Amino acid sequence: MEQNNLIKNLLMVLAGLALIVAGVYLVLLSRNAWRAYDYIGKTPDVINQITVTGTAKVTAVPDVAIITLGIVNDGTSVAIAQKGVTDKMNGIINSLKSEFKIESKDIKTENYSVQPKYDWSDGRQRIIGYTVNQSVQVKVRDFDKTGNIFAKATELGANSVYGPNFMIDDPEKAKAEAREKAIKQAKEKANLLADQVGIKLGRIVNFYEGGNEVANVAYGMGGYAMAEALDMAKSSAPAIEAGSQDIQLTVSISYEIK
């Protein structure tokens, strides 16, 4: 009998402890839930933050001129049309490398195509020949050579020429300079605004960057297909001006308000 009573008492104690633990758990769970609700319920407008922007522009001189040299040739067969293109293009590429010191990495085949030519006489379609088109894209790093390259390429048979398009080969240096200036402007604006409205800035909690590049280029002869100007290019090298390129960045910085 005494043993049974002891067991009953022990079970009652354990049950009481279980109820206490469950009660504490429910209290903690309820408190955490209210905290989460209180945090989630706050809108971004309630969170104490301030966002400022800064904009900076850097003007840089392009260091690469992109030109496209092409040859279009017709033939009664694919082999004949190809030979007319291949021989001339090989001559142009050899000249680019030997005479103008253009490296292989700066010469890239942009297009190579073969298309049939059709005759529709007598109401029938028949192939009367083929047109082969090959073009290469060339990066010219010495702008003084650009006009002479045009003249030499047309002399060697190029009959489709486009460019130059000027660009900055590695714009990251100019972007880094613009970014530094934009961030400095944004921070100065934040400090001035904090003084004016009487607040203290905390840590930076958000950062955004956006921007664009705008070319301000003066072309001497490029920027369009120059088939109508090939005769002039053969007799004299065109004048080429690189112009400049503006790189503009805008940054947004968000601060906590203490």
79-123 pLDDT per residue, tens? 999 999 999 999 999 999 999 999 999 999 999 999 999 988 877
CA-CA distance, 21 to 185, in Å (whole number)? 57
CA-CA distance, 55 to 218, in Å (whole number)? 26
CA-CA distance, 74 to 82, in Å (whole number)? 8
Q: Could you tell me which residues come within 8 angstroms of residue 191 by beta carbon, excluding any fewer than 6 positions away?
A: 201
**Is the confidence at residue 217, as pLDDT, over 50?**
no
201-226 mean pLDDT: 65
Q: Quick one: which H or E segment has residue 70?
A: strand 64-75
5-20 mean pLDDT: 62
54-83 pLDDT per residue, tens? 999 999 889 899 999 999 999 999 999 999
| pTM as predicted | 0.60
CA-CA distance, 238 to 146, in Å (whole number)? 8
Q: Residue 32's CB: how many other CB atoms inside 10 A?
A: 10
Residue 39 is predicted with a pLDDT of 42
Residue 15 is predicted with a pLDDT of 62
157-208 pLDDT per residue, tens? 999 999 899 988 888 888 999 999 999 999 999 999 999 989 999 999 999 9
